[in-house]
A = this chain, B = another copy of it.
Amino acid sequence: MKIGLLGHGVVGSGVSKIIDDGLTWEVRELEIKRILVKDESEITDERMTLNPADILEDPEIEIVAECMGGLEPAHSFLVEALKKGKHVVTSNKKMLATYCEELFDFARENGVTVHYEASCGGGIPWMASLDRTRRVDDIDSFRGIFNGTTNYILTRMTKEAGSFPEILKDAQKLGYAEQDPTDDIDGHDVRYKVALSVVKAFDSVINVNDIITFGIRNITLQDLEWCREQGMTCKLIGTGSYFGDHISACVIPMFLKNSDIFSNIPMNFNVIESTSKTLGAASFIGQGAGSLPTAHAVVQNLIDIWKDQDSEINPKYKKPIDNSTHTGVFYIRTAKPEVFAEIAESISGDTVLTKNVSLVEAVKKIQEASDESLFIAEVREA
């Protein structure tokens, strides 16, 4: 089966390595015909080209594997590929979370599919397990520590009582955090992964911007000390739950009981858990995905298409995200505690502990407070 590869960076070069090595008979059924690279200096073999038309216009190429990253031109290239009746495999979570509805529609109209196992969980066979579980079962909910960078920072802050800026700087030095860490520490990276997990787990298209998202940028040792005193551990959690007519989905720091298995997953490890009726809770642990684990997931999807396992994998229907059913007790540290009086169970200095309220109510008050240094975490007693 002939493949066109868009991008030859960290992931793309891993994909071409695995396919060229051809370790298994399944992999040897795949062939990379052309590779789109960014500039002349990247060209190291004759399959490489600077012209996307060499891939998008080639009728022999049945699958386009996109490992470029970024919104454009990745998005336009994939629209083009789908319109030409080519299957698409992508590792690009931001692009797919943003445009999934449009891309799935084009896929359906042209009788092809969009696969995206590598976009979420990389080294963790999370997406494939959701597919398999759903053959027998409905997924009720999922939750995960989806981001290794923030888990690393939280673990070290907790252990060493180091401040956020201090540990972040160290993480950047060690290569665990990007020079621009915004996507990680503000929760955007987790938001994209939650969006695509919702698509897969609940077979519904959603609007990624409706996912309420809080990060750990403002966390202080005071917050972690409060958490520790409750016998709890702080983790940045992405979660989604299915309610038939709507889906709740959010990204928020959570204070979890120390006995929770998630509290025991340290450093740059990820963990994702699905809960379904007959299987119960199943969890997957992996380490921040590197080149080959992410490439492995791309190649798995190429084999899926070659084996034609699922011809109707992309959901058609859009469901609203509504977090009013997501209720809980929230810890809020803010310069304006008085704004939260109405929903507060107790206020102590700059720290508010809310009554059991919906996340939507809490967000309304946060918008009202408009306090840029505010930190919120959900306190999970169970």
Interface residues of A (CB under 8 A from B): 14, 18, 23-24, 26-27, 123-125, 128-129, 132-138, 259, 261, 264-266, 269, 271, 277-287, 290, 292-293, 295-296, 299-300, 303, 309
Contacts and interface: CB of A to CB of B under 8 A. Distances in A.
B281 A284 contact: no
A26 B261 contact: no
B279 A293 contact: yes
A286 B283 contact: yes
Given A135-B303, A261-B265, A300-B135, A283 B284 contact: yes
Contact of A261 (B125, B129, B133, B269): B269
| 9 cross-chain pairs, A with B, having the tightest CB-CB distances, nearest first | A283-B285, A264-B264, A278-B292, A278-B296, A26-B135, A279-B296, A136-B299, A125-B129, A279-B293
Contacts of A277: 23, 292
Contacts of A285: 261, 271, 282-285
How many copies of the chain does the oligomer comprise? 2
A125 B136 contact: no
Contact of A286 (B23, B27, B282): B282
A77 B138 CA distance: 33
A22 B292 CA distance: 39
Given A14-B278, A283-B286, 5 more contacts: A24-B137, A136-B299, A280-B290, A280-B292, A280-B293
Contacts of A300: 132, 135-136
Contacts of A265: 261, 264
A296 B137 contact: yes
Nearest to A295: B278
A135 B24 CA distance: 6
A256 to B, nearest CB: 14
Given A280-B290, A282-B284, A292-B280, A133 B138 contact: no
17 contacts: A18-B278, A23-B137, A24-B137, A125-B125, A125-B129, A128-B132, A129-B129, A135-B303, A136-B296, A136-B299, A136-B303, A261-B265, A278-B292, A280-B287, A280-B292, A282-B285, A284-B285
Contacts of A279: 123, 292-293, 296
Contacts of A128: 129, 132
A348 to B, nearest CB: 32
Contacts of A132: 125, 128, 300
A247 to B, nearest CB: 19
A299 B292 CA distance: 32
A244 to B, nearest CB: 14
A269 B271 CA distance: 14
A192 to B, nearest CB: 21
A123 B282 contact: yes
B125 A282 contact: yes
A296 B303 CA distance: 25
Contacts of A136: 18, 23-24, 26-27, 296, 299-300, 303
Contacts of A299: 136, 278
Contacts of A135: 24, 26-27, 300, 303
